[in-house]
Structure 1
Amino acid sequence: MTAPRGHSFHLELGNEDDILARNSSIHVELECTCARQQDFGDMLCFLHHSEDELKKQDPSLLDTLCTDSYLDAEKTARWFQNFVKTAWVLIPQSEVYNVNVLPSTRMCKLQLRNAARRNLTIEIIFGVQQGDSEQPEGIGHLYPQHVRRQLCHPCLEDICHALPDHHPLGPKAVHAGHGEDAAQLPVGRATMVSATFFFLTFLGLIQSPEEVGDELDDATNERMRQYAEELQERMMQLLLEMEETEKDQSWAHMGALLLSALQNWQFWACVGVTLLSFWLFFLLHKKLEELDDSSDEESSSNDEDRGGQAPVINDALDAGRFIAQSIQWRQLDLTTKCQLVKDLVHGFFFVFEWILTDTFFPVLHSPIGVGSAFEGWSPREDDTVYRFLAPMTAPHGHSFHLEQNSIRELPSRNSRIRVKLECTCAREQDFGNMVCFLHQPEELRRNPEPSLLQTLCTGSYLDVRKTSYWFQQLVKSTWKTLPESGAWQVNVLTSSRSCRLHLIDDTKSALFVEIMFGVQQGDSDIFLSSQKTEAVFTPDTIWPQSCAVAEMKFFRHIAANAQQDSFHLRCMQLCARILVGNDFTTYMLKTVVMHLLTTIPLESWHRRDFLQRMDDIMQYLRLCLRKKRLDHFFFGNEAMPEEIILPPDFQTSRPPNLFQHMAKDGNTYSQAMHEFRELQDRLTRMLTFGN
């Protein structure tokens, strides 16, 4: 590295007794640029201009990568690591290799992986040359020169072994040895690495440290255009010389000349890399201009809302907006499809209500859309499952009584629904010829219509399996009578605790619908439902407590109070996408997001805040893992919206710990920490590559 304009590097080698200079430092001083202002354009001298005048340009290196006027190795490494993460997608090698920036405080360690899952590790250390010698003063690692030679071979060997054995630049191309016989990087691989590093270095011309900003001034743009014109003129001169040579030489001599030029492929590689670099600069500059335009429009609208206050430019927000736009979001038309499925299912229940009138089967009410689709963040469109919870009430002559076997366990996983017969003698006139099951048992034996206890119960408890089977048969027998049967083909899939439907229209488009059953707990939004539990085996008479309706109402509340461009659903969608194949459940990440939605103002969930909010989610999850505790959202939460109605015990009970299994088992906790690190890596790749 060399000092930028207006600065100078001075090497301080520390103690005289320290021959290897392990304590050397790089002192950064400001240089006067008044006499060279014409060369630097509009750049002001850091020494002879006032602080107010210097605010018009980027801060000096002392304000960005230095600590007490000395170049800081950790700041330099962190700046370069952030730069690589942002700029990698612009490099041609990004189509072949996935990059992972490994944590390091004094260097930049890159782990590249190709489509064949071959790994290639690159370490980039930073140094300042000591005079005209070949011994740079490193701020990443201060190794003696002979140690560096010995460390050269293993690094190169790892690079070469990343290729297949049959590759001409693979392991066989490694030359073993140390010292003068140290391994030499094969020409092809060295060029690839050099080209990659060249791109990173070139992009460094248009990307400054985080404190400086991403904007390019007009003088820099003008100089870059002049460089491009000079390069084109040189290329034209070279082409003219080649044409003149072609006229003067014979075809045989010209063939030899062309063969020699083609063999000198390093020259053509440099020319191609240079032209490609200018093309990438043009695309990046155009992208930055578009971001600036959109940022100006948003800032102007925000200024009107604030009463004309000056906008605040934040490069971190622009980076968050840029990365959020680069992610390949799945185009979800959830609102339209949810309404389509909702109308279709409501058509079912309208017919069922008419069929089940004056019967002793459960009374079915309008189903409630729940789950990720109706909450607005379904991660996949092609296989989205549209879930409904159908509230049930007892038929006349019967009553439902909810029993929770364990008071300490909330939400209860072992709840049951007890069915009791009720006296209907006083209401016999209202129900016509219906007999009282309690006081007319002899009539009951002759009554062709059995009671609910005889059809859908096991003992005196409502049976989930029998209820699901009864509803599935009801769908099969009545489907042909529905108007929708002409446009949709229905397949009832096997399920023991719900009714799963596979619907196919005339265009062969498929929809998956799951209808669960539930009994409301009082007037609250909590139901005893037929949904599955985490247990390996769940008895047929168990109806666990479900907060699905309360969760749907919470996201509906957030959508009603958030601004139009809120990005909270995208954050939740990205969390669900990175969880594929991970032991963390979607409900855990959704609980984290719900907690943050009630603690972070909704005004801070815009597109420009995307990176910060995703970092908040991961940091919150990390903190919960360290404490081995993640509180259930709907228990003891004082920030609960008023429209969500909860039972009294939910409001006063201590929140259940969703990480209780980690607190009891150390191996489970260690596995969870390993899964969390993998989760972070997936998120980094998603933010880096967009898919």
Structure 2
Amino acid sequence: MPAGIFRVCLVVITAIVNHPLLFPKENATVPEYAEDIIQKMKAHEENLRLEQLRLEQEIAGQEAALKALEKATETEEQNVKEPLPWDLWSAMSMVIFLLIELWRQDYQDGNWQESACEEDDMAILGKAFKGVALPDKATLANFYERCILGATGDMARKRELVEGFADDLLEALRSVCNRDADMEVEESIGVGSMYENWRVHKPLVCDLIVPFRPPEPYCFRSQTWCSKESVRPDKQGYGTIKVCRADEDAAGCICGKTKLGEDMLCLLHSQTNQTRPSGEMEDLLCFKNTQYLDADQVMKWFQIAITKSWNKISHKYEFDLTFNLLDSPGALKIKFRSGKSIAFNLTPVVQCEDSDAYFISHFPRGGLTADPASSTDWFVTFAVYERRFIHSISKKLPANACHLSCLQIVSFLHEKQCSLTGPSSLTNYHLKTVMLHLLQTRPYQDWASENLEARLQDMLKFLEKSLQEKKLCHFFIGNRKVPEVLNFPVAFQKAEPLNLFRPFVLHRDAYRKTVDTFHEMLRNTAALINEYTVHIPSRMESPTPVNKQQNLR
């Protein structure tokens, strides 16, 4: 009887300790810097295992002694009194096991301070969003017409001017480059908000990407993180580009499959098997002593090439061309003699295999995306697919659909809030990602123009939920519902989803600042819309500031 009670207690303890709902282990994450905690956990686990073995041996010995005692004793009183110490020992063992396991679980995710910090992050958000009180439809329509359409009216004209000048500049670049040694540039491709027709911030900046490739007989061979079985979280979204000869490892040649004699050589690879000097690879913009394309080298080459090409054609134009940002060689600005200027970005990229995804050397404007650990790591951009998706789905939506209007309004309000409270780590790319997710999940008819207020509410709710969870999945990477008409690469669809908000997990100060700015924007939404609708001056009036917010317009 006592042995049976003890076995029951032991089974209960084991079930409690290992129950997945009470002590989940699969999703537990240990910070990389808590090596001492990991060692303590391992030591406690080993001690617990040894203690279990000792107890099992002791139990076996005591059970044998108990059986002998039961045979020797004939009185019922001894049988009644004997279980008491066994029951007491069972209870004490259960308490000890529970205390040890509870202590271990408290430190499995790091320490108590980390848990407290996570609770603080959740407290930041709380239940702040209970539905933003937006103005009526007439006020929203008036606000959109005066603040947004008025700012984007000359968008098409600026696109046409920039595209024409960029074509002329690239053509001059091709002529000044050595066709046998320099990189070859292709036609530019317009991407981003200016080509998706939702940019509202001034100055209106065109983003153009310029694919380039090495001279013959070299080629680029890229490798992305999704082609590997496992990858570090900070490497997700990046890849490397190797520069090699086009006939290296050529398919169908038997020299790589058979062992040739010393006096035999492959006619196809007799020249390419020679050792290449390191200087040759550096001339091909590779990182020192490697065959991997170096983003820093590419930036320097592109800046020099742009300077040479402008010097060749500058006499044809009545304006000046300058570099807009020192750390972005493709950030250019056209300055007219009248004092006006037009900014645009011309960014070198490398095509990813045979797709419309590209490896980009740098982003013209900073965002939450961290800088790569190495200059040989290139970020993968799907800007062409994003533009294509928005244009294709716009054809299926009702006439005058409100999807771009929602994005423009949220972007406008966030930019105005940042002008008051300081910059935020929330970027326009995050806002666009939210819109793309909603476009794929909501029925097409829900985006009719009369549903503008409801869709604005949806975007804000989705965004707050993503901030609360610190998780906003990339729209294309890991999304298996991408329309087939886009011809999106299957390898990226089957990859692990990329969390755009992962930096918030690492940078707590940026997260708190972003959340505070977002909540302040929610509280000020109605006031901002009403103010910029009522007090914004017409073209015939002179602007008169009403309060300090207007001084920042």
The TM-score, its normalising length taken from structure 2, stands at 0.58
Corresponding residue of 1:610: 452
Residues 390 and 536 (structure 1), Cα distance of their counterparts in 2 relative to 1, 3 Å cut: closer
1:632 aligns with 2:474: yes
1:439-518 matches, cutoff 5 A: 439=271, 451=280, 453-458=282-287, 459=289, 460-482=291-313, 485-493=316-324, 495-496=326-327, 498-518=329-349
Corresponding residue of 2:465: 623
Tell me how far 1:531 sits from its aligned partner: 1.8
Measure the CA separation in 1 of the matches of 2:174 and 2:269: 23
Tell me how far 1:548 sits from its aligned partner: 2.0
8 Å Cα contact 1:360-1:451 kept in structure 2: no
Measure the CA separation in 1 of the matches of 2:495 and 2:372: 27
One-letter amino acid of the counterpart of residue 454, structure 1:
D
Corresponding residue of 2:216: 396
8 Å Cα contact 1:387-1:514 kept in structure 2: yes
Determine which structure has the larger helix proportion and give its number.
2
Q: Deviation digits for residues 433-479 of structure 1, max 9, x if unmatched?
A: xxx9972899999xxxx855434222322122222222222222222
1:507-546 matches, cutoff 5 A: 507-532=338-363, 534-535=369-370, 538-546=373-381
8 Å Cα contact 2:172-2:310 kept in structure 1: no
Corresponding residue of 2:431: 589
* Partner SS state of residue 592, structure 1: helix
One-letter amino acid of the counterpart of residue 343, structure 1:
G
Measure the CA separation in 2 of the matches of 1:404 and 1:648: 13
Residues 355 and 442 (structure 1), Cα distance of their counterparts in 2 relative to 1, 3 Å cut: farther
8 Å Cα contact 1:488-1:504 kept in structure 2: yes
Residues 410 and 527 (structure 1), Cα distance of their counterparts in 2 relative to 1, 3 Å cut: farther
* Partner SS state of residue 523, structure 2: helix
Corresponding residue of 1:372: 193
Tell me how far 1:323 sits from its aligned partner: 5.5
Corresponding residue of 1:418: 242
Corresponding residue of 1:48: none
One-letter amino acid of the counterpart of residue 632, structure 1:
H
1:689 aligns with 2:531: yes
Q: Deviation digits for residues 547-582 of structure 1, max 9, x if unmatched?
A: 222222222324444455233223212222222333
One-letter amino acid of the counterpart of residue 173, structure 2:
F
Tell me how far 1:378 sits from its aligned partner: 1.4
8 Å Cα contact 1:321-1:608 kept in structure 2: no
Measure the CA separation in 1 of the matches of 2:234 and 2:392: 24
One-letter amino acid of the counterpart of residue 184, structure 2:
V
* Partner SS state of residue 358, structure 1: coil
1:570 aligns with 2:405: yes
Please, which runs of 5 or more residues in structure 1 have no aligned partner?
1-102, 111-209, 211-314, 427-435
8 Å Cα contact 2:184-2:213 kept in structure 1: yes
Residues 511 and 317 (structure 1), Cα distance of their counterparts in 2 relative to 1, 3 Å cut: closer
1:541-552 matches, cutoff 5 A: 541-552=376-387
Measure the CA separation in 2 of the matches of 1:473 and 1:659: 36
8 Å Cα contact 2:436-2:475 kept in structure 1: yes
One-letter amino acid of the counterpart of residue 243, structure 2:
V
One-letter amino acid of the counterpart of residue 674, structure 1:
D
Tell me how far 1:338 sits from its aligned partner: 1.0
Higher relative contact order (CA 8 A, sep 6+): 2
Measure the CA separation in 2 of the matches of 1:440 and 1:653: 35
Please, which runs of 5 or more residues in structure 2 have no aligned partner?
1-127, 251-267, 534-553
Measure the CA separation in 2 of the matches of 1:678 and 1:508: 37
Corresponding residue of 2:170: 349
Measure the CA separation in 2 of the matches of 1:492 and 1:668: 30
8 Å Cα contact 1:327-1:689 kept in structure 2: no
Tell me how far 1:423 sits from its aligned partner: 5.1
8 Å Cα contact 1:324-1:610 kept in structure 2: no
Tell me how far 1:352 sits from its aligned partner: 2.7
Residues 411 and 367 (structure 1), Cα distance of their counterparts in 2 relative to 1, 3 Å cut: farther
1:298-309 matches, cutoff 5 A: none
8 Å Cα contact 2:243-2:293 kept in structure 1: yes
8 Å Cα contact 1:634-1:640 kept in structure 2: yes
One-letter amino acid of the counterpart of residue 183, structure 2:
P
Tell me how far 1:318 sits from its aligned partner: 5.7
Measure the CA separation in 2 of the matches of 1:540 and 1:438: 33
Tell me how far 1:337 sits from its aligned partner: 1.0
The TM-score, its normalising length taken from structure 1, stands at 0.47
1:132-151 matches, cutoff 5 A: none
Corresponding residue of 2:516: 674
Measure the CA separation in 1 of the matches of 2:315 and 2:388: 29
Residues 410 and 564 (structure 1), Cα distance of their counterparts in 2 relative to 1, 3 Å cut: farther
Measure the CA separation in 2 of the matches of 1:384 and 1:338: 9
One-letter amino acid of the counterpart of residue 551, structure 1:
E
Measure the CA separation in 2 of the matches of 1:604 and 1:596: 10
1:250-399 matches, cutoff 5 A: 321=141, 324-325=144-145, 329-332=149-152, 333-356=154-177, 358-381=179-202, 383-399=203-219
Q: Deviation digits for residues 480-528 of structure 1, max 9, x if unmatched?
A: 4337842331113454454221112343321112121211112222111
Measure the CA separation in 1 of the matches of 2:492 and 2:273: 42
Residues 453 and 536 (structure 1), Cα distance of their counterparts in 2 relative to 1, 3 Å cut: closer
Q: Deviation digits for residues 56-104 of structure 1, max 9, x if unmatched?
A: xxxxxxxxxxxxxxxxxxxxxxxxxxxxxxxxxxxxxxxxxxxxxxx99
One-letter amino acid of the counterpart of residue 575, structure 1:
V
1:651-666 matches, cutoff 5 A: 651-662=493-504
Q: Deviation digits for residues 622-664 of structure 1, max 9, x if unmatched?
A: 2333444322111333442334333222212342223335567
How many residues align? The count is 367
Measure the CA separation in 1 of the matches of 2:212 and 2:326: 19
Tell me how far 1:347 sits from its aligned partner: 1.5
Measure the CA separation in 2 of the matches of 1:629 and 1:654: 14
RMSD: 3.8
